[in-house]
Structure 1
């Protein structure tokens, strides 16, 4: 009797299947401090496994990125298209085939797989029981000691040895990060209900005359005076745009924005911004739901760049998460959800600012590098990405230097300075903070040296100058990685920003303020280039560390303590608290045209 077709197919499938191999540890981490294992995860709880396939030609993408971002290269500004970027990061067909077979072997059909446009990410939603079988591991519920946020995670997972070459990483598995807004502590003050009157000017260190009131209250006018952009009027508003990212259920309030405009940018009254919802993001317009971080971001970035169109990306997938059998999803790492969305778009804003981050060491190195590679793709497409450098000085995310732990999460509990991520990614521009006029480094400005990313070539001269000439030999030896990517790159005013929040005026601060305001000036630079028929700036750092150095106000006073130390000092030239300094828009405009 002839065998049935299904039987023959099954036999052939076994005959031609890839050789199987025993499970081997793919990744292992120590649970970060303050995370407590409270028991086994419910077996029917659904986890969204995001599988990263190796980007087989990423080095070629990186070469393109640096060539088109180098102002002295013939290809400067020749940004890649979406399709060209996707072709460079697409995985090798062998990896696609191997992963497809592995998933099919676990009963996951093609219809259950969600693939990124470049096919370098695959997302599958599976119950914990299946995830444990696929990854030869056990998932547990972990609760954070400080605020009881909960996640379903494991401290290690395995893959068949033959699959290690075809899968770069799988998350959320060992990812325990807790994305936070940087500082952004809003404070009301009766004296701040009315805007301070402009008073006689004071001469700043960079020769600009600025209202004396700017020493205690920062407004859009103050920043334009201080950074030499008072007379610039955007003209490329049909081509140029700026965007802010929002996480943690932060809502940017339209009514607050109108009050802000009436107070500081009267010409902008009745204008607004677009909202893009990603992965269940929210933008609740109930006044009590307004977020101080979101209000700060949109008010100052859009106030500076007006009338440039603006977008607020609101991305869900954030704690708190309470695991139970009715919870369909657990994904408290929103950067990749945001990256998935924006990389799939044909047209993107030329300037994007993010005021959120976490300690670098709470993010597995493999994951940090993969997210950073996503930022490189955006840079190659002509997007300037700015990130707050953090608000803990050289220490961890705790803004109080007296309570920072500053210990490694590798099981050794060694005292180290703690850099922040994503600011430590070499493909973004990290923004530190200053205060007062003349400007000095603000004492919470995050800075230091990455333990994951090597120092990029564009930083070599500036950072070596600091390490060999400005930092006394042996200072903080062993507490930081002198070969690491150094942050911040630049800085800007970071405290006493006057915003409107839930219908009231008040002051707010943090590098959460310096990043969106710096982004506003970058957007004006992009406007200048687009108005002259030139492409946008894209990835900024190679320009800033070469031709751009002369267009920054060098900040040489102040320090940012942390980890029980005074931290680094602001010095002549680049330093790991204010970077290259604060911008002179007029000089930068002349350089980029």
Structure 2
């Protein structure tokens, strides 16, 4: 302990690591081992000089205290509601113990790795190394291979097990990329170019129809084409004018070389939000992400996200984050482009910002089972840090119903990848993280669960049901006929989604042309837009941002949501779950009624 303390002191003073060899008495012991990943084929040995961006996660000593404070500042009935933590307060709570820092530092020194060779996260709970495969194999007592995905041809450099010295096991929670075989992807289900532009002009000059439970009149054309005006009508926000204040902000994340094109955005604004013409978003590069404005490289997913999130909220300051990485990976290119786990890069970046946007939407995800539990937990804990700082984090729930979405969700067999090859409903991550707000999809007016694809929903196998969901989810499960889908899902798991919004037939502009697009990747930025408007309403009366939404939504906030009671989310050869009165694992608690939610969150009874 005394040697570790001295080493830690030296590091604080900027002194390089000792180059002493690691103690021989600490034999290597397996830290993690998985079965051969389903759908992947071991291809060739990984090139020894291929470089990995290796991330080492150290235990966050006081995360339980952070979680406690997260729930206190997010509970509208708690006296601390809205009293969010500062960046420095959060970092202090998740910082690793000095003993962990010292033990890991000594281990790294045994491989001649100095402070100049690594990057530490702001809280020092992550260490990032850019090293060749040959060194990673020595450090982790493992062998890396190039693995090829049988269906897509995607390739990853991975291993199925790794080890650490026995004394490090309680000082290191996770090392990646090692055993993560995810195929990170956008939650987009449908897309088509609109050839006949004349048929969609003058959309909002016809008859009106009732929206159903919200008792709002909506243009009949919104049953076939969704625009910003449709969403304002349907979700009771017509006439609300947000402020252009630097205090508020809405952000959208972009991955997999999905570029948001400003020329398309201007066409979209001219078509649907003329007051926003000649305005744009702030671009922020994460880990070298590009801002490719060649219109032929515009991404349908990125355009959808920014056009609707920013169209709904103009003139609230808007930011687009570009994080690099594009499968299929070429293992012969000796750069660390195959991490396929960009949340860590983005979280490291955003948690390092003093003032991130108060609302952030992401329309990407992966099958929960492809993300190792320890890594999923660490990523999830990162979202908790954002929530504690007053940021609302929203994710699309996926488009595979209760399945994995890799093929026809109505017929695809859903198989576990734990070596047992059991049939199982496949939840989506990060939507399954209890510290984010998961958004499912609806369609038509009155609204029903979307049917051209199926709104991702179900129950997490990794995360237990949080207390804020207990009443709503237990009520739903109590109404299920006994034995329904027994063994196919975890009835004690965190329920997905939390809420929903329209998710099909969105009219966007893509590479200079009008297009129709759908998926819960449309629902998430739409719902996020109304959250940003709610933050604007609170800021106008000197209240703080909403932050982590779920404790509010599942209590007083439910009165400001439109319950969706029709539809289902087929998958895995089943009809999936049914939408019903109250919360359900298809549409969650329902869609937003901005007028009612605004009354709730600006009430003098809500701090």
Sort the TM-score into its range (normalised by shorter chain).
Answer: over 0.9
* 1-structure distance, mates of 2:267, 2:50: 45
Q: What count of residue pairs does the alignment treat as equivalent? A: 580
Q: Which runs of 5+ in 1 are unaligned?
A: 1-12
**Deviations along 1:5-33, whole A, 9 cap, x unmatched?**
xxxxxxxx799976732111101112432
What's the offset of the Cα at 1:404? 2.0
5 Å-filtered alignment, 1:385-464, equals 385-398=393-406, 400-443=408-451, 444-464=454-474
Aligned to 2:554: 545
Aligned to 2:527: 518
Aligned to 2:69: 64
CA contact (8 A) 2:249 2:318 kept: yes
Question: Structure 1 residue 20 and structure 2 residue 25: aligned?
Answer: yes
Aligned to 2:201: 195
**Deviations along 1:113-133, whole A, 9 cap, x unmatched?**
110110000011221111111
Question: Structure 1 residue 562 and structure 2 residue 559: aligned?
Answer: no
Question: Structure 1 residue 259 and structure 2 residue 267: aligned?
Answer: yes
5 Å-filtered alignment, 1:253-402, equals 253-324=261-332, 326-327=334-335, 329-398=337-406, 400-402=408-410
What's the offset of the Cα at 1:325? 5.9
What's the offset of the Cα at 1:222? 0.4
Question: Structure 1 residue 589 and structure 2 residue 589: aligned?
Answer: no
**Deviations along 1:459-480, whole A, 9 cap, x unmatched?**
00000000002x1121111100
Q: Which runs of 5+ in 2 are unaligned?
A: 1-17, 603-607
* 2-structure distance, mates of 1:231, 1:491: 22
* 1-structure distance, mates of 2:367, 2:201: 36
Aligned to 2:504: 495
Which of 176, 185, 190 pairs up with 1:185? 190
Question: Normalising to structure 1: TM-score of the pair?
Answer: 0.96
Aligned to 2:211: 204
CA contact (8 A) 2:66 2:93 kept: yes
* 1-structure distance, mates of 2:587, 2:203: 29
What's the offset of the Cα at 1:377? 0.3
What's the offset of the Cα at 1:48? 1.5
CA contact (8 A) 1:42 1:325 kept: no
CA contact (8 A) 2:51 2:334 kept: no
* 2-structure distance, mates of 1:15, 1:298: 52
CA contact (8 A) 1:234 1:305 kept: yes
| SS state at 2:230 partner | helix
Aligned to 2:89: 84
* 1-structure distance, mates of 2:146, 2:344: 22
What's the offset of the Cα at 1:318? 3.7
CA contact (8 A) 1:50 1:172 kept: yes
Question: Normalising to structure 2: TM-score of the pair?
Answer: 0.94
Question: Structure 1 residue 159 and structure 2 residue 164: aligned?
Answer: yes
CA contact (8 A) 2:189 2:399 kept: no
Aligned to 1:465: 475
Which of 39, 45, 51 pairs up with 1:34? 39
